Each structure stands twice: as structure tokens, then as C-alpha cells.
Amino acid sequence: MIDQGKDLYQEALRVIDAKGPFGILDGPARLRGLEGLDALLSRSWDQRRESPRAMVALARAATEVAEKLSPSRVGKQEVWDHRCRAWGELANAQRVANDYERAVQSLAAALRHLVRGSRSEELEVRLMDIHASLEGHRCHFYEAFDILNVVASIHLKKGDHHLAGRAFVKKGLFKNYHGESGEALDLTRRGRELLDESRDPVLYLQAMHNEVLSLMNLERYPEARLLLWSNLGRYERHGGTIDRLKLRGLWGLINAGMGKLDEAARDFEAERRGLQEEGLSYTAAVAGLDLAAVYFEQGRIAETEAVAFDALAVFQEMDIPEQGQLSVLVLRKALEMRLATIDLLALIRRTAKFLRRVEHDSTAVFDPTA
């Protein structure tokens, strides 16, 4: 029976890879059991850094399979557990796809199933972890911090240092989003030390990346450069296209902070171009402001204005938080009027840094003089 289950699981994976989730939903009935459910959730997780849309579609199919599981074959409480797991992973996928409203609804469905099942601690902690991620990305940071403290404590008590480290890294990320870079650095370092890299090398890479971001926010550029340089191999082994573009942006910020303007300009030009090709307009526009600051410091005024106005036009066409709109307005007016009474270089950099933050923290307030 064990071998048969493995065979069905592998068959389900092959069908999903060939035909997508409907290969399971419309395929042989034998694939719409636990093996098909596990295969759908596995492939959904695999898509988290490649295609949020595919991640959602696969998780949605998993909920359809879970809802039709037979209690007589699986067990009454186990059916509710599997439904809870499927709806929880759908909520997480919708969160990754920035569909927060549907994610809240799916998480509520998972909780309704949880109380009818076995109430396993593993499921409870997983739902808390998903809830924390959702709250953090909805800018409910203190709620996320509280939940992650509980999640980390549970994992430490059970002796799972890796998952505890994951909770600390996630809390550090949200601290960064909230502008608390010092605490973010401490939490991320603590979390990274607890991670088992062989268990999740991509998570380890993300933790290291977040640590570099914290160091840069604290303007500790030599430390950031050394950490990044010593981890380039991890980007090669585990980073995707977007990761490598972000890496180029990190080098740009570090080089700019250390006064290596020619290198910084090349980094930002490559990052901006690559992000535009990937359709990431907002992030590309932020890179454009980073580039404009370097051009200005190099005395390339015409190029500064051209790149900056291009970036500001992108932001003006987007639905961004009011404080983000304010920062764009202030910089645009300063550029149009060529105000000699302000430090334009500092304003460009401050605006880029704020727009990088407000993308993840809609509660942030812009201070053009800070």
C-alpha cells in the first residue's frame, strides 16, 4: 500500500506537470485522493518564487480535491485536517499574489476546518505562520510581531531551531518594512544562525539578502559589501532572475554609499533595464531614482532630470499610498523649479528610500527634511 501511494503521488506530479491542475480535477478518479492533494500542494509551493498565479491555481485545485475527500476512506477528523491544510495553503498563495482580501477569506475557511479536525499543533502553528505573513503584508505589523513571537517560541520548545529561525527572519523582514533596521538586523542574524541551510537553501539566501538590506539601511556599507561578496555563490546556485536583479541593485546601493559612482551607475542601469524587461514597473522606477541620484552626483544634470522625470511619471500613473504620492510631488516640484535652496541630491535619495519602504508599509509618513 505504501508503494502504491508513492506511485500515485508520482503519477499525480507527472499529470500536473503535463496538464496543470485540471489534469487532476478532470483526470482519473484515483488521482483525486490524498496523493493528488499532496502533489497539488507540493507543486503550488514550488511556484512561490516563479508564478504566484500558478501557485494560487494549484492551491485552489487542492481545496477542491480536499472538499471531496471521503471520511469513510480517510477518517472523519483527518478529512477536516486535510481541508484545513489545503485552505491554509490557498490563503498563503493568495497572500503571495497580493490578493489579501481573498487570503483573509481562505484563512477563515481553514480555521473553520481546524476546529472540526484533530487540532494538531502542527496545523495550528502553520496557520499562525500564514496569519503572521498576511498581517505583515497588510501592514498590521504589531499583530504580525506578536504572532511570530508565539510561533518562534513553540518551535524552540519543540527543538525545531530551523523553523524558529524562519520565524525570526520573517519578523526581521517586517521590522525592516516598518523602518526599524537595527532590530531587523539583530533578528535576521539570530534567525540565520538557527537555519539549517541544507533544509531550505532558498530561505537561507533570503535571510542573508535581508541582512544586507538592514546593513545598508543603517549605512554600514563595508559590512554589507563583505557579506554580499562572501555569498555570491548562493545567488548563483539558488537565485532566480529577479534575485539576480535585486543583487545588482544591492551592489549599486553599496557602491553609491562608498562613493564608487561609475560602478553604481552601471549597477543601477542594469537593474533598471532588467526590471523593466520583467514588467516590474514600480521597482524599476525606484531604481531609476537611485540612478538619478548617482548621475546628479557625477554632474550629469540633463541625464538626472530625464531619468528622474521618467521614474516620477511611472509613480504618478500608479495607485500608491498618499504619502508616496506626496513624496513624488515634492521631488517633481523641486526638479521642475530647480530649487537652489534645497539639497537636491539628498532629496532624490530620500525619496527613493521612502518609495522603497512605502511599497511594503502604507502607514509610513514622508518627511522631506528628515
Q: Are 292 and 334 in contact (CB under 8 A)?
A: no
Percentage of the residues of the chain whose pLDDT score is greater than 70: 97
Please determine, for residue 107, whether its predicted confidence score (pLDDT) is greater than 80. yes
What's the chain's average pLDDT?
93
Q: Are 171 and 187 in contact (CB under 8 A)?
A: yes
Please report which confidence band the pLDDT of residue 338 belongs to, taking 50, 70 and 90 as the band edges: confident
For 160-192, how does the pLDDT look when each residue is reduced to its tens digit (9 = 90+)? 999 999 999 999 999 999 999 999 999 999 999
The reported pLDDT for the residue numbered 201 is: 95
The reported pLDDT for the residue numbered 1 is: 41
CA dist list (Å): 53 to 4, 58, 59, 98, 202: 31, 9, 10, 10, 20
The neighbour count for residue 341, using CB atoms within 10 Å, is 7
For 205-228, how does the pLDDT look when each residue is reduced to its tens digit (9 = 90+)? 999 999 999 999 999 999 999 999
Q: Which three cell numbers stand for residue 112?
A: 473553520
The angle at the Cα of 38, spanning 34 to 39, to the nearest 5 degrees, equals 115
Task: Determine the residue type at 187.
Answer: L
Alpha-carbon distance of 40 to 57, in angstroms, equals 9
The residue behind cell 472538499 is 67
Q: Domains of the chain (ranges plus CATH)?
A: 1-138 (1.25.40), 240-370 (1.25.40)
Nearest to 183 by CA among 192, 166, 171, 193: 171
Local structure of 17: helix, strand or coil: helix
Q: Are 171 and 140 in contact (CB under 8 A)?
A: no
User: What is the DSSP code string of 39-72?
Assistant: HHHHHHHHTTTT-HHHHHHHHHHHHHHHHT--HH
Please determine, for residue 342, whether its predicted confidence score (pLDDT) is greater than 80. no
What's the pTM?
A: 0.88
Please report which confidence band the pLDDT of residue 337 belongs to, taking 50, 70 and 90 as the band edges: confident
Please determine, for residue 149, whether its predicted confidence score (pLDDT) is greater than 90. yes
